[in-house]
Protein backbone atom coordinates (compact mmCIF):
# COMPACT_ATOMS: atom_id res chain seq x y z
CA UNK A 1 0.00 0.00 0.00
CA UNK A 2 1.08 3.57 -0.63
CA UNK A 3 1.20 5.89 2.34
CA UNK A 4 1.50 9.66 2.00
CA UNK A 5 3.17 11.38 4.94
CA UNK A 6 2.00 14.70 6.40
CA UNK A 7 -0.77 14.85 3.82
CA UNK A 8 -3.24 17.74 3.68
CA UNK A 9 -6.86 16.84 4.39
CA UNK A 10 -8.31 20.11 3.12
CA UNK A 11 -9.65 18.45 -0.04
CA UNK A 12 -11.16 15.58 1.95
CA UNK A 13 -13.58 17.46 4.21
CA UNK A 14 -16.42 19.67 3.01
CA UNK A 15 -15.73 22.31 5.65
CA UNK A 16 -12.40 22.83 3.88
CA UNK A 17 -10.46 22.81 7.16
CA UNK A 18 -6.73 22.83 6.43
CA UNK A 19 -5.29 20.14 8.68
CA UNK A 20 -2.86 17.29 8.01
CA UNK A 21 -2.77 13.54 8.53
CA UNK A 22 0.45 11.88 9.66
CA UNK A 23 -0.26 9.20 7.04
CA UNK A 24 -2.86 9.01 4.27
CA UNK A 25 -3.82 6.03 2.11
CA UNK A 26 -6.86 4.61 0.31
CA UNK A 27 -8.50 1.21 -0.05
CA UNK A 28 -10.49 0.08 -3.09
CA UNK A 29 -11.55 -3.45 -2.10
CA UNK A 30 -12.45 -5.56 0.92
CA UNK A 31 -9.33 -7.66 0.30
CA UNK A 32 -7.12 -4.59 0.33
CA UNK A 33 -8.77 -3.37 3.52
CA UNK A 34 -8.17 -6.67 5.30
CA UNK A 35 -4.58 -6.72 4.05
CA UNK A 36 -4.05 -3.29 5.58
CA UNK A 37 -5.15 -4.58 8.99
CA UNK A 38 -2.00 -6.74 9.15
CA UNK A 39 0.40 -3.84 8.65
CA UNK A 40 2.37 -2.58 11.68
CA UNK A 41 1.46 1.00 10.78
CA UNK A 42 -2.25 0.23 11.12
CA UNK A 43 -1.82 -1.75 14.31
CA UNK A 44 0.30 0.87 16.06
CA UNK A 45 -1.40 4.12 15.04
CA UNK A 46 -4.62 6.03 15.66
CA UNK A 47 -6.79 5.64 12.56
CA UNK A 48 -9.70 7.30 10.85
CA UNK A 49 -11.83 5.97 7.99
CA UNK A 50 -12.92 8.80 5.71
CA UNK A 51 -15.62 8.81 3.06
CA UNK A 52 -16.42 12.20 1.58
CA UNK A 53 -15.79 14.10 4.82
CA UNK A 54 -19.25 15.68 4.58
CA UNK A 55 -20.23 15.15 8.21
CA UNK A 56 -16.90 15.75 9.88
CA UNK A 57 -15.26 18.72 11.56
CA UNK A 58 -11.49 18.63 11.93
CA UNK A 59 -10.24 20.61 14.89
CA UNK A 60 -6.55 19.66 14.71
CA UNK A 61 -4.02 17.61 12.76
CA UNK A 62 -4.58 13.85 12.90
CA UNK A 63 -1.55 12.12 14.39
CA UNK A 64 -2.27 8.75 12.84
CA UNK A 65 -3.45 7.24 9.57
CA UNK A 66 -6.43 8.39 7.52
CA UNK A 67 -7.88 5.82 5.12
CA UNK A 68 -9.94 7.04 2.17
CA UNK A 69 -12.79 4.62 1.43
CA UNK A 70 -12.86 3.94 -2.33
CA UNK A 71 -14.90 0.71 -2.31
CA UNK A 72 -17.27 0.68 -5.27
CA UNK A 73 -19.99 -1.46 -6.79
CA UNK A 74 -23.79 -1.80 -6.95
CA UNK A 75 -25.15 -5.34 -7.25
CA UNK A 76 -28.68 -6.77 -7.41
CA UNK A 77 -28.65 -9.68 -4.96
CA UNK A 78 -32.36 -10.56 -4.99
CA UNK A 79 -35.34 -9.52 -7.05
CA UNK A 80 -39.07 -10.17 -7.28
CA UNK A 81 -41.82 -8.56 -9.34
CA UNK A 82 -42.29 -5.93 -6.64
CA UNK A 83 -38.96 -5.51 -4.85
CA UNK A 84 -35.23 -5.45 -5.47
CA UNK A 85 -32.41 -5.96 -2.96
CA UNK A 86 -29.25 -4.00 -3.76
CA UNK A 87 -25.87 -4.55 -2.16
CA UNK A 88 -23.96 -1.28 -2.44
CA UNK A 89 -20.28 -0.79 -1.60
CA UNK A 90 -19.68 1.72 1.17
CA UNK A 91 -17.46 4.01 -0.89
CA UNK A 92 -20.16 4.75 -3.46
CA UNK A 93 -21.58 8.28 -3.58
CA UNK A 94 -24.97 8.39 -1.85
CA UNK A 95 -26.46 10.83 -4.34
CA UNK A 96 -24.98 8.81 -7.20
CA UNK A 97 -26.80 5.76 -5.84
CA UNK A 98 -30.08 7.71 -5.63
CA UNK A 99 -29.73 8.79 -9.27
CA UNK A 100 -28.93 5.21 -10.31
CA UNK A 101 -32.05 3.92 -8.57
CA UNK A 102 -34.26 6.60 -10.13
CA UNK A 103 -32.91 5.65 -13.57
CA UNK A 104 -34.01 2.08 -12.80
CA UNK A 105 -37.38 3.23 -11.34
CA UNK A 106 -36.53 1.72 -7.96
CA UNK A 107 -38.31 3.62 -5.20
CA UNK A 108 -37.65 4.39 -1.56
CA UNK A 109 -34.75 6.86 -1.45
CA UNK A 110 -35.82 9.59 -3.89
CA UNK A 111 -36.57 11.97 -0.97
CA UNK A 112 -32.93 11.57 0.09
CA UNK A 113 -31.60 13.13 -3.11
CA UNK A 114 -28.56 15.42 -2.96
CA UNK A 115 -27.56 14.39 0.55
CA UNK A 116 -23.75 14.51 0.51
CA UNK A 117 -21.58 11.65 1.65
CA UNK A 118 -21.00 8.00 0.91
CA UNK A 119 -23.25 4.97 1.23
CA UNK A 120 -21.20 3.73 4.18
CA UNK A 121 -21.96 6.87 6.16
CA UNK A 122 -25.73 6.63 5.59
CA UNK A 123 -26.54 3.99 8.23
CA UNK A 124 -24.15 5.49 10.80
CA UNK A 125 -26.09 8.74 10.81
CA UNK A 126 -29.41 7.19 9.74
CA UNK A 127 -29.67 10.00 7.21
CA UNK A 128 -33.12 11.42 6.63
CA UNK A 129 -34.95 14.19 4.83
CA UNK A 130 -38.46 15.15 3.73
CA UNK A 131 -40.28 12.39 5.57
CA UNK A 132 -37.90 9.52 4.86
CA UNK A 133 -35.09 7.92 6.87
CA UNK A 134 -32.64 5.49 5.31
CA UNK A 135 -33.39 2.90 8.01
CA UNK A 136 -36.76 2.37 6.30
CA UNK A 137 -35.05 0.71 3.32
CA UNK A 138 -31.94 -0.85 4.89
CA UNK A 139 -32.11 -4.62 5.03
CA UNK A 140 -28.65 -5.19 6.47
CA UNK A 141 -25.23 -3.62 6.98
CA UNK A 142 -22.07 -5.57 6.23
CA UNK A 143 -19.01 -4.79 8.34
CA UNK A 144 -15.40 -5.79 8.96
CA UNK A 145 -13.97 -5.84 12.47
CA UNK A 146 -10.99 -3.49 12.31
CA UNK A 147 -9.12 -5.47 14.97
CA UNK A 148 -9.30 -9.00 13.61
CA UNK A 149 -10.68 -8.67 10.06
CA UNK A 150 -13.78 -10.78 10.78
CA UNK A 151 -16.79 -9.97 8.60
CA UNK A 152 -20.25 -9.65 10.11
CA UNK A 153 -23.70 -8.73 8.85
CA UNK A 154 -26.02 -6.68 11.05
CA UNK A 155 -29.75 -6.90 10.39
CA UNK A 156 -31.87 -3.78 10.41
CA UNK A 157 -33.09 -4.39 13.96
CA UNK A 158 -29.55 -5.02 15.23
CA UNK A 159 -28.47 -1.60 13.95
CA UNK A 160 -30.62 0.11 16.63
CA UNK A 161 -31.66 2.97 14.38
CA UNK A 162 -33.07 6.15 15.86
CA UNK A 163 -33.35 9.80 14.88
CA UNK A 164 -29.89 10.47 13.36
CA UNK A 165 -28.65 7.58 15.46
CA UNK A 166 -27.49 4.00 15.11
CA UNK A 167 -25.38 1.57 17.07
CA UNK A 168 -22.50 2.46 14.74
CA UNK A 169 -22.22 5.79 16.56
CA UNK A 170 -21.39 3.97 19.77
CA UNK A 171 -18.28 1.95 20.54
CA UNK A 172 -19.24 -0.40 17.70
CA UNK A 173 -18.39 2.34 15.24
CA UNK A 174 -14.82 2.37 16.49
CA UNK A 175 -14.24 -1.29 15.70
CA UNK A 176 -16.48 -1.92 12.69
CA UNK A 177 -15.75 -0.72 9.17
CA UNK A 178 -18.91 -0.68 7.06
CA UNK A 179 -18.00 -2.39 3.80
CA UNK A 180 -21.44 -2.44 2.14
CA UNK A 181 -25.13 -1.83 2.74
CA UNK A 182 -28.06 -3.88 1.43
CA UNK A 183 -31.24 -1.95 0.61
CA UNK A 184 -34.72 -3.18 -0.28
CA UNK A 185 -36.44 -0.90 -2.80
CA UNK A 186 -39.75 -1.04 -4.61
CA UNK A 187 -40.09 -1.73 -8.33
CA UNK A 188 -43.75 -0.68 -8.53
CA UNK A 189 -46.55 0.63 -6.30
CA UNK A 190 -44.07 3.12 -4.89
CA UNK A 191 -44.84 4.87 -1.61
CA UNK A 192 -44.61 8.50 -2.64
CA UNK A 193 -44.10 11.02 0.15
CA UNK A 194 -44.73 14.60 -0.94
CA UNK A 195 -46.27 16.37 2.04
CA UNK A 196 -42.99 17.32 3.74
CA UNK A 197 -41.33 20.66 3.16
CA UNK A 198 -42.18 22.41 -0.08
CA UNK A 199 -42.37 19.30 -2.27
CA UNK A 200 -46.10 19.62 -2.96
CA UNK A 201 -45.75 23.32 -3.69
CA UNK A 202 -43.02 22.74 -6.23
CA UNK A 203 -44.97 19.92 -7.87
CA UNK A 204 -47.99 22.24 -8.12
CA UNK A 205 -45.87 25.00 -9.64
CA UNK A 206 -44.71 22.51 -12.23
CA UNK A 207 -48.31 21.34 -12.85
CA UNK A 208 -47.46 17.78 -11.79
CA UNK A 209 -50.45 15.97 -10.27
CA UNK A 210 -49.16 12.39 -10.59
CA UNK A 211 -45.47 12.63 -9.72
CA UNK A 212 -42.86 10.05 -10.64
CA UNK A 213 -39.82 9.17 -8.55
CA UNK A 214 -37.80 11.59 -10.68
CA UNK A 215 -40.34 14.37 -10.16
CA UNK A 216 -40.01 14.03 -6.40
CA UNK A 217 -36.23 13.83 -6.61
CA UNK A 218 -36.09 16.93 -8.81
CA UNK A 219 -38.29 18.82 -6.33
CA UNK A 220 -36.07 17.81 -3.39
CA UNK A 221 -32.94 18.80 -5.30
CA UNK A 222 -34.50 22.18 -6.10
CA UNK A 223 -35.35 22.79 -2.44
CA UNK A 224 -31.93 21.74 -1.18
CA UNK A 225 -30.10 23.84 -3.76
CA UNK A 226 -32.13 26.90 -2.81
CA UNK A 227 -31.32 26.52 0.90
CA UNK A 228 -27.97 24.79 1.24
CA UNK A 229 -24.66 26.22 0.04
CA UNK A 230 -22.47 24.18 -2.31
CA UNK A 231 -19.42 23.03 -0.27
CA UNK A 232 -17.31 23.46 -3.41
CA UNK A 233 -18.06 27.18 -3.15
CA UNK A 234 -18.26 27.71 0.61
CA UNK A 235 -17.16 25.23 3.25
CA UNK A 236 -19.96 23.53 5.19
CA UNK A 237 -21.23 20.14 6.33
CA UNK A 238 -24.92 20.68 5.69
CA UNK A 239 -27.15 20.69 8.76
CA UNK A 240 -24.91 21.17 11.78
CA UNK A 241 -27.56 20.59 14.46
CA UNK A 242 -30.24 17.98 15.03
CA UNK A 243 -33.85 19.08 15.38
CA UNK A 244 -34.50 18.82 19.12
CA UNK A 245 -37.25 16.66 20.55
CA UNK A 246 -38.97 17.94 23.69
CA UNK A 247 -41.79 16.81 25.95
CA UNK A 248 -45.36 17.83 25.22
CA UNK A 249 -45.46 19.74 28.52
CA UNK A 250 -42.35 21.70 27.57
CA UNK A 251 -43.87 22.47 24.19
CA UNK A 252 -47.10 23.71 25.76
CA UNK A 253 -45.15 26.06 28.05
CA UNK A 254 -43.20 27.47 25.09
CA UNK A 255 -46.37 28.05 23.06
CA UNK A 256 -47.60 30.50 25.68
CA UNK A 257 -44.59 32.75 25.05
CA UNK A 258 -43.96 31.83 21.40
CA UNK A 259 -47.36 31.13 19.77
CA UNK A 260 -45.83 30.86 16.26
CA UNK A 261 -43.40 28.13 17.34
CA UNK A 262 -43.42 25.49 14.55
CA UNK A 263 -43.56 21.89 15.71
CA UNK A 264 -44.10 18.32 14.54
CA UNK A 265 -45.41 15.29 16.32
CA UNK A 266 -42.71 12.80 17.30
CA UNK A 267 -42.86 9.34 18.86
CA UNK A 268 -44.02 8.60 22.41
CA UNK A 269 -45.87 11.87 22.98
CA UNK A 270 -42.79 13.99 22.22
CA UNK A 271 -42.66 17.05 19.97
CA UNK A 272 -39.97 17.88 17.41
CA UNK A 273 -38.95 21.53 17.02
CA UNK A 274 -37.08 22.86 13.95
CA UNK A 275 -33.61 23.84 15.14
CA UNK A 276 -33.31 26.35 12.31
CA UNK A 277 -36.27 28.33 13.66
CA UNK A 278 -34.79 28.42 17.16
CA UNK A 279 -31.42 29.60 15.86
CA UNK A 280 -33.02 32.25 13.67
CA UNK A 281 -35.10 33.58 16.57
CA UNK A 282 -31.88 34.08 18.49
CA UNK A 283 -30.54 36.31 15.73
CA UNK A 284 -27.86 34.00 14.34
CA UNK A 285 -29.08 33.55 10.77
CA UNK A 286 -26.61 35.20 8.39
CA UNK A 287 -24.29 36.28 11.19
CA UNK A 288 -20.55 36.14 10.51
CA UNK A 289 -17.86 35.82 13.17
CA UNK A 290 -14.45 36.29 11.59
CA UNK A 291 -13.96 33.61 8.93
CA UNK A 292 -16.90 31.45 10.03
CA UNK A 293 -20.62 32.07 10.38
CA UNK A 294 -24.23 30.98 9.95
CA UNK A 295 -25.52 30.72 6.40
CA UNK A 296 -27.86 33.51 5.32
CA UNK A 297 -30.39 31.16 3.69
CA UNK A 298 -30.40 28.32 6.24
CA UNK A 299 -29.71 28.82 9.94
CA UNK A 300 -28.89 25.13 10.44
CA UNK A 301 -25.76 25.46 8.31
CA UNK A 302 -22.49 26.72 9.76
CA UNK A 303 -19.99 27.82 7.13
CA UNK A 304 -16.28 28.37 6.68
CA UNK A 305 -15.66 31.42 4.49
CA UNK A 306 -12.19 30.21 3.62
CA UNK A 307 -9.77 30.72 6.45
CA UNK A 308 -11.74 29.43 9.41
CA UNK A 309 -10.53 26.73 11.78
CA UNK A 310 -12.35 23.85 13.40
CA UNK A 311 -11.91 25.47 16.79
CA UNK A 312 -13.65 28.64 15.55
CA UNK A 313 -16.61 26.62 14.27
CA UNK A 314 -16.83 24.80 17.60
CA UNK A 315 -16.82 28.14 19.43
CA UNK A 316 -19.56 29.47 17.16
CA UNK A 317 -21.66 26.35 17.72
CA UNK A 318 -21.21 26.65 21.48
CA UNK A 319 -22.43 30.26 21.40
CA UNK A 320 -25.49 29.28 19.39
CA UNK A 321 -26.29 26.45 21.78
CA UNK A 322 -25.99 28.78 24.78
CA UNK A 323 -28.34 31.39 23.33
CA UNK A 324 -30.98 28.82 22.33
CA UNK A 325 -30.78 27.29 25.79
CA UNK A 326 -31.22 30.68 27.45
CA UNK A 327 -34.18 31.73 25.29
CA UNK A 328 -36.07 28.44 24.94
CA UNK A 329 -34.60 26.11 27.57
CA UNK A 330 -33.77 23.70 24.72
CA UNK A 331 -30.32 22.17 24.31
CA UNK A 332 -29.26 21.72 20.70
CA UNK A 333 -27.06 18.75 19.77
CA UNK A 334 -24.55 18.62 16.95
CA UNK A 335 -25.23 16.36 14.00
CA UNK A 336 -21.65 16.75 12.78
CA UNK A 337 -18.86 14.52 14.12
CA UNK A 338 -15.63 16.11 15.34
CA UNK A 339 -12.09 14.84 15.01
CA UNK A 340 -11.44 15.88 18.59
CA UNK A 341 -14.40 14.27 20.34
CA UNK A 342 -13.91 16.40 23.44
CA UNK A 343 -14.66 19.53 21.41
CA UNK A 344 -18.18 18.50 20.45
CA UNK A 345 -18.98 15.94 23.10
CA UNK A 346 -21.47 18.29 24.71
CA UNK A 347 -22.67 19.98 21.51
Gap between the Cα atoms of 279 and 298, Å rounded: 10
- Reported residue count of the chain is 347
Q: Identify whether 239 is a catalytic site residue.
A: yes
Q: Identify whether 82 is a catalytic site residue.
A: no
> In this structure, are residues 252 and 258 in contact, taking their beta carbons and an 8 Å threshold?
no
Catalytic residue among 179, 239, 312, 343: 239
What pLDDT shows up at residue 339?
56
What pLDDT shows up at residue 347?
35
What pLDDT shows up at residue 341?
39
> Which residues does the chain have with pLDDT short of 70?
172-173, 338-347
Catalytic residue among 164, 214, 248, 253: 164
Count Cα neighbours of 219 within 13 Å in the Cβ-side half-sphere. Answer: 27
- Domain locations along the chain: 4-69, 74-226, 229-344
Reading across the β-sheet that carries 74-79, which strands appear in turn? 74-79, 83-89, 176-186, 138-145, 151-155
In the CATH scheme, what is the code of domain 74-226?
A: 3.30.465.10
Q: State the CATH class of domain 4-69.
A: alpha beta
| Mean pLDDT, the chain, integer | 93
Count Cα neighbours of 191 within 13 Å in the Cβ-side half-sphere. Answer: 10
pLDDT 10s digits, 121-132: 999 999 999 999
What pLDDT shows up at residue 338?
65
Residues 6 or more apart from 322 whose CB is under 8 A from it?
none
Catalytic residue among 22, 142, 335, 343: 335
Q: What CATH architecture applies to the domain 229-344?
A: Alpha-Beta Complex (3.90)
Q: How many CB atoms lie within 10 A of CB 299?
A: 26
Question: For a pLDDT cut of 70, what percent of the chain falls above it?
Answer: 97
pLDDT 10s digits, 67-78: 999 999 999 999
pLDDT 10s digits, 139-164: 999 999 999 999 999 999 999 999 88
pTM of the model: 0.87
What pLDDT shows up at residue 320?
97
Radius of gyration of the chain (CA): 21
Q: Identify whether 312 is a catalytic site residue.
A: no
Amino acid sequence: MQWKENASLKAYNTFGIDVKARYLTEVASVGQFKQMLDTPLWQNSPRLILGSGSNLLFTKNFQGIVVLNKLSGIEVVHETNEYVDLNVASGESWHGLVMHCIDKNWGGIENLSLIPGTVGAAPIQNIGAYGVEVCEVIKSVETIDMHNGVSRTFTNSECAFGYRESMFKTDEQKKNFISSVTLTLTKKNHRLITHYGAINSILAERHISSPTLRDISDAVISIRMSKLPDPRVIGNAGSFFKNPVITREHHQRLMKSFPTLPHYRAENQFVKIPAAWLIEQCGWKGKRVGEVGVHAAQALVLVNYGGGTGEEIVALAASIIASVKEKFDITLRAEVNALDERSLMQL
